[in-house]
Structure 1
Amino acid sequence: MFHFVVAIPCLIVIFRYLIPLKWPLWFKFLLSAVLLFVAQHHLLTLLAFGSMFSPEVPRVIVLAVNWIFGTMLFLAVLQIAVDLIVLMLMVFKRRRIAIPPVLRYSMGALALGVAAFAVSQAARVPAVKDIEVAIQGLPAEFDGYEIVQLTDLHISRLFEAPWVEAVVAQANALEPNLIVITGDLIDGDLDVRRTDVAPLQALSAPDGVYTIPGNHEYYFGYPQWIEHYQTLGMQVLANQHVAIENEGANLVLAGVTDFTAGRHAFPAPNVEEAIAGAPDDAPIIMLDHQPRNAAVAAAAGVDLQLSGHTHGGMIVGFDRLVARANNGFVSGFYDVQEMALYVNNGTGLWPGFALRLGKPSELTRITLRQG
């Protein structure tokens, strides 16, 4: 179904944009072939590499494919909009109206430019985003406590070692008390990503670096990756918690496995198990890659949940569809039964859809405040 859906904008561009242009037939045929190839690049990646989530091709090709793919999507939207306007004018004026070539060329130029900008926004090292969270019952000892949240790094041929090094340097420069990574650190097997993830070992915070699995960890050898994360100095919270102590006061940091874990024959997320035995009356921060089950954490007494997964919806407008697939959660803060949920836009994103418009990537510094 996915591969059929992404073919629709391609067909719109071919039949409603390319064919009416007065270009040589061979040239239109060539462009159509390129568009069909790019429209199905996820399927081709699956056939070539065994997974559509990790195209093992040079970074410049990943960028170029996303640029053409984005151009196709934006051009399809523009073409539909123009067709609707022309249709309404034809009904109103009761005569046939042709789309002038200059308008078609302008649409093409605009789509190319917007797609290039969208790819550049997706591939950049994110800017720091500062937020504050008020927590009822937060001990005074943790007022002003700083957490850096990274999520959805999707370390891959798009986000290689130099990008990871820049993200790590930026996170460390903030000098937070704690660093958390809420899943989807990688795209690819350990043997092809080992060098690219190595810079994560330099992440440093006084109270440690913690991570949880996202759905993509399960696509590429979950046990091997979890073990490797630990060798890089990250502590993995898989239905577990730790108590962070500061001058006799406690703050609980818990984490669960991903919503999809059970499909891969691994332990499903279990909030109750994750917080079992936690110090009484200590505020609880839950790390859960996907935000969709935030109500479960809220019912269990969690005070703050940090999630990712949605990439913020990536594109304004498209984010509404992403929200519907995640119980309405897509980007930013939500109040879930008196629990604060923060859905991070993502530090990186999946290289198969490397486009961002109005939903920027972020490296998030969270400051806790007494509520």
Structure 2
Amino acid sequence: MAPKIAIALVLLIASQFHFWSRLSSGSVFAPEFPRPLVILFNWVFGAIVLLAVFQAALDLAGLAARIGGIASGDWIEARYCIAVAAFALAGVGVGQAVRVPRLREVTVTIPNLPAAFEGYTLVQLTDLHISRLFPAIWTRAVVDATNRLGADLIVVTGDVIDGSVADRRQDVEPLRDLRAADGIYLIPGNHEYLSGYDAWMAHLASLGMRVLANAHSVITRGSAKLILAGVTDPSARGAGKPLPDLDEALAGSPPNGPVVLLDHEPGRARKAAERGVALQLSGHTHGGMIMGLDRIVARANGGFVSGRYAVGDMTLYVNNGTGIWPGFALRLGKPSELTRITLRRGDD
């Protein structure tokens, strides 16, 4: 009896993970526990979620068996098996979520790409969620891995942090060392608006990142031009900040250069394609985190969740994320990624 009570107590405490997070920091988005405890919470909380799904599936199977006249019993052995499976899979999922991501190579063909930009490389970082779960040592490893790629340009497509500048200052400090010939550009994601937008934009800019909030920059190679544009996030509404405005972002840009758009959320991709954008880079979805769950996440994001999509004449790439939200850090079949994108010329 005592072991069962102990297990029940552990599960009860873990099931309230987000409540404890709110107590620790005032927000479910930034648990301020030691990293091993955040990992432990994610493991047990994730196992509870998976176990609930498995139990529901087993109960439905039992109901179907009874309706079909098949004696099913209580399936006690099966219930123990799915409990073990839930904890094992959650452990794998947390391990996949917290690792330094592996490189993913993506090639994008742009019909009107100037010859001078043939083979141009960008590294996309997104959804780092730098936090107690992804502290300075992890950030340093990501920065070092990124710099080794020698990209022409580095873009960061939102959700860099979870927590205040005061809490995350040391954890984001390694970002100062990101290096690319044409610079490092950043757009805000929804979590920046939850963590002190103005303070974070100023601090990230002080680390050497150029913020594209409904703005653009022109990358040149001789007389050839590539337009890099960035928009804000719809979460800006709750913070009283400017909403995403692609027209404003492109105002005054050269008329003959292909546009690469940074937009944290992929759901507006069709509007970007109609506006003539050549390539949109997004994140936000974490790839759906778990196979099966990704179909639900896609429905909430215009049908886009992970990888490459052809949207009219535009290519949309939805990055699975460099990190993940520390409140549900599981990945099963949807790995994190450090993404190098190479531009190639296509037929005009």
Per the TM superposition, whether the score is higher than 0.5 is yes
Distance 2:332 2:135 in 1: 22
Deviations 1:30-66, CA, capped at 9 Å, x for gaps: 4333323222211332233211000000000010011
Is structure 2 residue 249 aligned with structure 1 residue 274? yes
Q: Kindly state the Cα deviation for residue 121 of structure 1 after the two structures are TM-superposed.
A: 0.1
Q: Aligned residue for 1:308?
A: 283
8 A contact 1:90–1:97 mirrored in 2: no
Deviations 1:197-231, CA, capped at 9 Å, x for gaps: 00000000000000000000011111111011111
Q: Aligned residue for 1:179?
A: 154
Distance 1:165 1:63 in 2: 19
Distance 2:9 2:310 in 1: 48
2:178 aligned partner, one-letter code: L
Is structure 2 residue 67 aligned with structure 1 residue 81? no
Q: For structure 1, which segment, 174-183 or 73-82, has the greater mean C-alpha deviation from structure 2 after superposition?
A: 73-82
Q: Aligned residue for 2:105?
A: 130
Distance 1:98 1:287 in 2: 53
Is structure 2 residue 11 aligned with structure 1 residue 32? no
Is structure 2 residue 55 aligned with structure 1 residue 52? no
Is structure 2 residue 207 aligned with structure 1 residue 232? yes
Flag the 1:94–1:177 CA change in 2: closer, same or farther, 3 A: closer
Is structure 2 residue 9 aligned with structure 1 residue 43? no
1:83 aligned partner, one-letter code: D
Q: Aligned residue for 2:45?
A: 69
Q: Aligned residue for 2:262?
A: 287
Deviations 1:55-105, CA, capped at 9 Å, x for gaps: 00000001001110111122222222222222222233365612133x333
Paired residue for 1:169, among 132, 144, 152? 144
Distance 1:144 1:96 in 2: 61
Q: For structure 1, which segment, 69-78 or 240-249, has the greater mean C-alpha deviation from structure 2 after superposition?
A: 69-78
Q: Aligned residue for 2:219?
A: 244
8 A contact 1:152–1:311 mirrored in 2: yes
Q: Aligned residue for 1:11?
A: none
Q: SS at the partner of 2:146?
A: helix
Paired residue for 2:114, among 133, 139, 145? 139
Is structure 2 residue 96 aligned with structure 1 residue 117? no
Distance 2:165 2:17 in 1: 23
Distance 1:85 1:213 in 2: 45
Paired residue for 1:150, among 125, 136, 145? 125
Is structure 2 residue 343 aligned with structure 1 residue 363? no
Flag the 1:99–1:262 CA change in 2: closer, same or farther, 3 A: same
Q: Give the gaps of 5 or more residues in structure 2.
A: none
8 A contact 1:271–1:296 mirrored in 2: no
Distance 2:177 2:100 in 1: 17
Q: For structure 1, which segment, 34-43 or 191-200, has the greater mean C-alpha deviation from structure 2 after superposition?
A: 34-43
Q: SS at the partner of 2:284?
A: coil
8 A contact 2:291–2:332 mirrored in 1: yes
Q: Give the gaps of 5 or more residues in structure 1.
A: 1-23
Q: Aligned residue for 2:74?
A: 98
Q: For structure 1, which segment, 331-340 or 161-170, has the greater mean C-alpha deviation from structure 2 after superposition?
A: 331-340
Distance 1:169 1:50 in 2: 33
Poorly superposed stretches of 4+, deviation over 3 Å: 26-30, 93-96
Q: SS at the partner of 2:128?
A: coil
8 A contact 2:187–2:264 mirrored in 1: yes
Is structure 2 residue 271 aligned with structure 1 residue 296? yes
Distance 1:345 1:95 in 2: 44
2:48 aligned partner, one-letter code: M
Distance 1:260 1:268 in 2: 8
Q: Which has the higher contact order (CA 8 A, sep 6+)?
A: 2
Flag the 1:35–1:238 CA change in 2: closer, same or farther, 3 A: same
Distance 1:300 1:85 in 2: 49
